[in-house]
């Protein structure tokens, strides 16, 4: 029984028609497609030369690698798909176990000589070594490319700008009656597809990818071009934090320095420091923006105006300081003379009345003595009431002398505060400039931000 079953099995296996086995090589053999068959390589694969080869192109944006304003370079990473018809290739899938598509090395077949007009650097990313060939003669080539392209950028609204960069694809040698170019997907599909596959966006937010066909004529020959336009918007946050805000902070510091006392040049030092800080920021800006530009970038206007305002305010401080120094110098002189006279007179008067002492220097400035009184040496009155012994008299003399000195000093200071003509001028200039400064800033800032937003 066992033997019969075994025999039957052997007979059945031998009798069954063997299932047909196909390999890709069978198709290549059938097509006569070999590496040294020049038929497929040398010329445009059409049987009638008047037929144009129709190339369908699809470009999808994978990533925006860099946008360099300084050198006007746009570097996207794209995925390009090319499809064209090879009239020398066709097979019946039914004869080859239903094989509908094979992959062959790209060098074995003719390829359309498409190139990118804006490309300024050879692409060094690895090439896809194969192209796909389908049974009806459609050849598909897919490539990931890092396109280093030149792009005219408008940095007028930097860092709130939107850039538009083109990638123009066309054939180098074949004109319109030889190669026709068509986009595989229209603008909205390309945009949507790009959004889906987009890996990194970095500083830039991808907005749109649009495709347009155009013709280019030179010497009576016409080429067909496909123009892919990438629209992207800068994310301004980094630049706002790094640049716009610090300048605004320095401006407010400069404004606040109005409340620093004028004398002894402290304000001057402060303002110079702030101005230096701004110039460092200007250096950074210089590295970002291109030197040639049609219209001045708003950010340059922003910086220059603020810088100019600060410079003006520095000059104003220098003027005011000069006026004050001049004033106080003359004050000091007259004060010293006056007080010397008065003090001698007071000494002769044997320090009798308070009235006498208070007249010191009152001719120059109307210092309110009531105010000054409490600032004097506090022990004076107490001691004054206890003039008893000779020793305390000496002590009292010293005290009186000190008191006199302090009064002179107080008067001197108050003279500087309320002082002479140039002093008053200095104060007037100060106030007027502050009002001008605040007004200019509060008009300029809204104006420039509206410009940025429009
Ligand atoms: C391939 O070449 C052989 C002869 O070498 C020829 O008979 C055959 O028709 C060719 N096949 C095609 C598809 O051209
Ligand atoms: C370019 O020329 C071809 C053939 O003459 C024509 O069909 C096509 O509409 C033209 N395209 C444009 C954008 O003018």
**pLDDT digit string, tens, across residues 219-252:** 889 999 999 999 999 999 988 998 899 999 999 9
Q: Are 331 and 263 in contact (CB under 8 A)?
A: no
Q: Is residue 73 part of a domain?
A: yes
Q: Is residue 4 part of a domain?
A: no
In the chain, the N- to C-terminal Cα span, in Å, equals 96
Q: Are 159 and 213 in contact (CB under 8 A)?
A: no
Answer yes or no: is the C-beta of 32 below 6 A from any ligand 1 atom: yes
By C-alpha distance, which of 96, 89, 191, 174 is closest to 131? Answer: 89
Q: Which of 204, 235, 266 is the last residue of a domain?
A: 235
| Phi (first) and psi of residue 115, to 5 degrees | -145, 165
Same-domain pairing of 59 and 142: yes
Same-domain pairing of 250 and 152: no
Contacts of 12 (CB under 8 A, 6+ apart): none
Ligand 2 centre and the CA of 214: distance in Å? Answer: 7
Answer yes or no: is the C-beta of 339 below 6 A from any ligand 1 atom: no
Q: Are 25 and 33 in contact (CB under 8 A)?
A: no
Answer yes or no: is the C-beta of 176 below 6 A from any ligand 2 atom: yes
Residue owning the nearest CA to atom 1 of ligand 2: 215
Q: Is residue 75 part of a domain?
A: yes
Give all strands (DSSP E) within 98-195, no chain letters: 101-105, 114-116, 130-134, 138-146, 149-150, 162-171, 179-183
Contacts of 293 (CB under 8 A, 6+ apart): 154, 155, 156
**Distance, CA of 434 to CA of 309 (rounded, Å):** 11
Same-domain pairing of 417 and 447: yes
| Phi (first) and psi of residue 432, to 5 degrees | -60, -40
Tell whether the model's pLDDT for residue 330 goes beyond 60.
yes
Choose one of 32, 87, 88, 133 to mutate for the ligand 1 pocket test, by most ligand atoms within 8 angstroms of C-beta. Answer: 32
Q: Which of 235, 262, 282 is the last residue of a domain?
A: 235
Answer yes or no: is the C-beta of 214 below 6 A from any ligand 1 atom: no
Residue 29's CATH number: 2.70.170.10
Same-domain pairing of 40 and 185: yes
pLDDT band, residue 84 (cuts 50/70/90): very high
Q: Which of 211, 235, 259 is the last residue of a domain?
A: 235
Identify which ligand lies nearest to the alpha carbon of 87: 1
Answer yes or no: is the C-beta of 27 below 6 A from any ligand 1 atom: no
pLDDT band, residue 163 (cuts 50/70/90): very high
Same-domain pairing of 231 and 256: no
Identify which ligand lies nearest to the alpha carbon of 181: 2
DSSP letter for 64, please.
Answer: E
The reported pLDDT for the residue numbered 206 is: 93
Answer yes or no: is the C-beta of 442 below 6 A from any ligand 2 atom: no
Q: What is the tally of structural domains in the chain?
A: 2
Point out the ligand 2 atom lying closest to the alpha carbon of residue 213.
13
The reported pLDDT for the residue numbered 370 is: 43
**Distance, CA of 139 to CA of 72 (rounded, Å):** 36
Interval 154-164 mean pLDDT: 90
Answer yes or no: is the C-beta of 214 below 6 A from any ligand 2 atom: yes
Ligand 1 centre and the CA of 130: distance in Å? Answer: 24
Ligand 1 centre and the CA of 140: distance in Å? Answer: 24
pLDDT band, residue 102 (cuts 50/70/90): very high
**Distance, CA of 43 to CA of 56 (rounded, Å):** 19
Point out the ligand 1 atom lying closest to the alpha carbon of residue 32.
1
Same-domain pairing of 168 and 210: yes
Q: Is residue 30 part of a domain?
A: yes
Ligand 2 centre and the CA of 211: distance in Å? Answer: 15
Beta bridge partners of 229: 166, 210
Beta bridge partners of 149: 74, 119
Three-state secondary structure call for residue 62: strand
By C-alpha distance, which of 212, 227, 232 is closest to 118? Answer: 227
Interval 260-277 mean pLDDT: 84
Identify which ligand lies nearest to the alpha carbon of 40: 1
Is the model more confident about 36 or about 3? 36
Choose one of 213, 215, 222 to mutate for the ligand 2 pocket test, by most ligand atoms within 8 angstroms of C-beta. Answer: 215
Residue owning the nearest CA to atom 5 of ligand 2: 176
Q: Is residue 392 part of a domain?
A: yes
Contacts of 341 (CB under 8 A, 6+ apart): none
**Distance, CA of 280 to CA of 286 (rounded, Å):** 10
By C-alpha distance, which of 393, 374, 375 is closest to 384? Answer: 393
- Residue 214: in which H helix or E strand, if any? strand 204-218
Answer yes or no: is the C-beta of 215 below 6 A from any ligand 2 atom: yes
The reported pLDDT for the residue numbered 82 is: 95
Point out the ligand 1 atom lying closest to the alpha carbon of residue 31.
13
Q: Is residue 403 part of a domain?
A: yes
Tell whether the model's pLDDT for residue 388 goes beyond 50.
yes
pLDDT band, residue 324 (cuts 50/70/90): confident
Tell whether the model's pLDDT for residue 344 goes beyond 60.
no
Same-domain pairing of 25 and 107: yes
Answer yes or no: is the C-beta of 212 below 6 A from any ligand 2 atom: no
Ligand 1 centre and the CA of 29: distance in Å? Answer: 9
Answer yes or no: is the C-beta of 179 below 6 A from any ligand 1 atom: no
Same-domain pairing of 200 and 331: no
Answer yes or no: is the C-beta of 273 below 6 A from any ligand 2 atom: no
Low-confidence winner among 57-66, 333-342, 368-377 (lowest mean pLDDT): 368-377
Same-domain pairing of 225 and 313: no
Q: Is residue 46 part of a domain?
A: yes
Q: Are 403 and 376 in contact (CB under 8 A)?
A: yes
**Distance, CA of 272 to CA of 318 (rounded, Å):** 11
Q: Are 362 and 415 in contact (CB under 8 A)?
A: no
Cis peptide, bond prior to residue 159, ω within 30 of zero = yes
Domain enclosing residue 394, as ranges? 237-454
Bridge-based pairing state of the strands 53-68 and 179-183: parallel
pLDDT band, residue 437 (cuts 50/70/90): very high
**Distance, CA of 62 to CA of 45 (rounded, Å):** 31
Same-domain pairing of 83 and 212: yes
Ligand 1 centre and the CA of 33: distance in Å? Answer: 10
The reported pLDDT for the residue numbered 375 is: 47
Tell whether the model's pLDDT for residue 42 goes beyond 60.
yes
The tokens describing 67, both together, are: 């946008």
How wide is the angle at C-alpha 136 spanned by C-alphas 135 and 137, nearest 5°? Answer: 95
Answer yes or no: is the C-beta of 155 below 6 A from any ligand 1 atom: no
Is the model more confident about 400 or about 265? 400
The reported pLDDT for the residue numbered 412 is: 61
- Residue 83: in which H helix or E strand, if any? strand 73-85
Beta bridge partners of 206: 232
Same-domain pairing of 307 and 413: yes
Same-domain pairing of 47 and 163: yes
Q: Is residue 2 part of a domain?
A: no
């Amino acid at each position: 029984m066992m033997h019969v079953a075994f025999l039957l099995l052997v007979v059945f296996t031998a009798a069954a028609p063997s299932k047909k086995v196909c390999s890709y090589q069978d198709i290549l053999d059938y097509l006569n497609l070999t590496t040294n068959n020049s038929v497929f390589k040398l010329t445009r694969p059409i049987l009638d030369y008047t037929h144009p080869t129709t190339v369908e192109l699809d470009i999808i944006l994978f990533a925006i690698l860099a946008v360099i304003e300084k050198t006007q370079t746009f570097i996207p990473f794209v995925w390009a798909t090319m499809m064209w018809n090879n009239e020398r290739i066709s097979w019946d899938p039914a004869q080859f176990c239903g094989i509908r598509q094979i992959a062959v090395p790209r060098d074995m077949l003719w390829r359309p000589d498409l190139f990118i007009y804006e490309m300024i650097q050879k692409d060094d990313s690895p090439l896809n070594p194969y192209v796909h060939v389908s049974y009806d003669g459609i050849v598909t080539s897919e490539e990931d490319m890092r396109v280093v392209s030149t792009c005219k950028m408008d940095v007028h609204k930097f860092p709130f700008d939107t850039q538009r960069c083109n990638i123009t694809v066309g054939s180098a040698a074949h004109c319109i009656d030889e190669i026709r170019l068509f986009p595989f997907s229209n603008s909205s599909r390309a945009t949507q597809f790009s959004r889906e596959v987009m890996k990194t966006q970095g500083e830039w937010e991808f907005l749109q990818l649009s495709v347009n066909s155009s013709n280019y004529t030179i010497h009576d020959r016409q080429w067909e071009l496909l123009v892919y336009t990438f629209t992207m918007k800068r994310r301004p946050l980094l630049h706002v934090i790094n640049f716009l805000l610090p300048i605004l902070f320095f401006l407010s510091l400069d404004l606040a320095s109005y409340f620093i006392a004028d004398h002894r040049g402290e304000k001057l030092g402060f303002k110079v420091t702030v101005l230096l800080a701004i110039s460092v920021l200007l250096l950074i800006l210089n590295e970002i923006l291109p030197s040639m530009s049609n219209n001045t970038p708003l950010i340059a206007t922003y910086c220059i105006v603020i810088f100019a305002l600060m410079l003006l305010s520095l000059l104003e401080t220098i003027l005011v300081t000069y006026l004050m120094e001049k004033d106080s110098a003359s004050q000091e002189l007259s004060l010293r003379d006056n007080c010397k006279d008065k003090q001698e007179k007071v000494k002769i008067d044997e320090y009798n009345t308070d009235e006498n002492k208070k007249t010191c220097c009152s001719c120059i400035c109307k210092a309110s003595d009531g105010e000054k009184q409490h600032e004097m040496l506090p022990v004076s009155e107490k001691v004054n009431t206890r003039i008893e012994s000779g020793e305390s008299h000496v002590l009292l003399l010293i005290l009186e002398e000190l008191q006199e000195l302090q009064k002179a000093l107080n008067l001197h200071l108050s003279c500087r505060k309320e002082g002479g003509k140039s002093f008053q001028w200095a104060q007037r200039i100060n106030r007027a400039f502050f009002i001008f400064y605040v007004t200019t800033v509060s008009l300029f800032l809204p104006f420039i931000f509206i410009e940025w937003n429009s």
